Chain A
């Protein structure tokens, strides 16, 4: 992927730009005015406790979330624009594949949706073969997805997202429930995809040790961005050994501030004085 913008300007080289992003689910505000950018060709980790709005944020970026407010630019277009559908790969937390099809049949179908028609026949075959190799499932290509282990099924789901060589890959907790070896292999794959294919990755996790593997981090809590920086800078700024400690530091500070300014539980959101890079 080419980007001719000067590297110093984050707005120009950003794959995702959010300004005052809000989202409401069942009358409850899940995202409360978020500002952040996701740089092109890098791995951005989205970290925060369960239920803090990570999935909602990712669905907003992909364009499947209803009731989204504010501005959200994805690959230069408003999120949810039909032209983006073939440029974004999205992997939901629960593997979304057909259990009653084999791995290859699953990939064949989704490839036919992305690259329809006879003219793309060989392209499809190449894409499917590469996706199977990417997630290391060549030995299981002809096994029904429903017969695979949980970790294998989530890799099939990932393989589907890799099919069309998307410019932006949105992965919702892709390593949850995987053993350490597989987790390492997947993170290696993410880095390979970012480096070799120029793909932008937005990866959510609630496991903080994965934060260290990202180029950049968005730390989230209760629908707000707590910090947006590189892991290294976060550790340095809060003088901690790990991102996890830096995160806890930020959460404690935010809680203390909330206690001081808003005695009742549900009060108007207070203006943040978060240090922004």
Chain B
């Protein structure tokens, strides 16, 4: 692990992104637009907007970063630049940390915009500190980056990579407690939801929504999400092979 190489990689990823302003606009504005829509869909029941809005603040960065990272690393694999980098004195962790850093930064920007809009303009009623919302959003973004990186190893084309989104994200979305509280699901589904990281992302958001201070449940949720991100990043690193057939 070398800090200069990691930073150079992060700078390179951001530089690539800068040549693609449309992607930046989509990443930053779509979550805001969705929150805006949501606010007026639930115009008559502000309580529902509060809980769904807070959950979505955690889910957006996960989904966006998952998509962006899986495509970006897949491109890196198919364009031969990954092989070239791994034949150079670049550590796998330099590459992965570089990606995580670059997309983490984008995720912070996205979350600041979305959280700011929801809390300031759309009247999302959060009991706890919006900074904690931001923290969970950042952890979710890292988890999304990690999952995207991992999944890209199993996709042979960008087409397949996009198909992994419904496969990896949608089940979590259904089971994370966004649509119905997790303890009211069929027991088998509740058990499954207990091992899916997105459930903890949403739980964490809801803790901030309801409590003024940092609860132990919040700390546990944040740690689970962070732990999953690190675990999956490690798995992702294992899929980067210096020698290939």
Contact = CB atoms under 8 A, between A and B. Distances in A.
Contacts of A114: 88-89
Contacts of A182: none
Contacts of A98: 12, 16, 79, 81
Interface of A: 25-26, 62-67, 80, 82, 85-86, 88, 90, 92, 94-101, 105, 109-110, 112-114, 116-118, 144, 160
A109 B4 CA distance: 11
Nearest to B19: A100
A88 B5 CA distance: 18
Given A94-B80, A113-B5, A100 B16 contact: yes
> Which 6 residue pairs spanning A and B have beta carbons closest together?
A96-B80, A112-B8, A116-B4, A66-B243, A109-B12, A85-B89
Given A101-B19, A109-B8, A92 B84 contact: yes
Interface string B78-92: 011101111111100
Contacts of B245: 25-26, 65-67
Interface of B: 2, 4-5, 8-9, 11-12, 15-16, 19-20, 79-81, 83-90, 241-245
28 contacts: A62-B87, A63-B87, A64-B87, A64-B242, A65-B244, A65-B245, A66-B243, A66-B244, A67-B245, A85-B87, A85-B88, A88-B87, A92-B84, A96-B80, A96-B81, A96-B84, A97-B79, A97-B81, A98-B16, A100-B16, A110-B88, A113-B5, A114-B89, A116-B4, A116-B8, A117-B4, A118-B4, A160-B84
Contact of A101 (B4, B15, B88): B15
Contacts of B2: 116
Contacts of A92: 80, 83-84
B63 to A, nearest CB: 22
A64 B15 CA distance: 28
A225 B126 CA distance: 73
Contacts, number: 85
Contacts of B242: 63-64, 80
Contacts of A113: 5, 8-9, 85, 88-90
Contacts of B243: 63-66, 80
Nearest to A164: B88
Given A85-B89, A109-B8, A144-B19, A64 B83 contact: yes
A26 B2 CA distance: 35
Contacts of A62: 87
By CB atoms of chain B within 10 A, which of A25, A99, A113 has the most? A113
A116 B241 CA distance: 22
A153 to B, nearest CB: 11
Contact of B241 (A25, A66, A88, A94): A66
Contact of A112 (B4, B81, B87, B241): B4
A208 B236 CA distance: 43
Select the residue from B16, B20, B80, B84 with max chain A CB neighbours within 10 A: B84
A218 B88 CA distance: 26
A92 B88 CA distance: 13
A248 to B, nearest CB: 32
A82 B89 contact: yes
Nearest to B4: A116
A216 B84 CA distance: 26
Nearest to B95: A113
A160 B83 CA distance: 13
A85 to B, nearest CB: 4
A68 B89 CA distance: 21
A33 B87 CA distance: 24
A194 B88 CA distance: 21
Contacts of A67: 245
Contacts of B83: 64, 92, 96
A25 B81 CA distance: 21
Nearest to B86: A64
Given A66-B245, A67-B245, A112 B5 contact: yes
Contact of B79 (A26, A96, A118): A96
A64 B241 CA distance: 9
Contacts of A64: 83, 86-87, 242-244
Contact of A86 (B8, B16, B88, B241): B88
Contacts of B84: 90, 92, 96, 110, 160
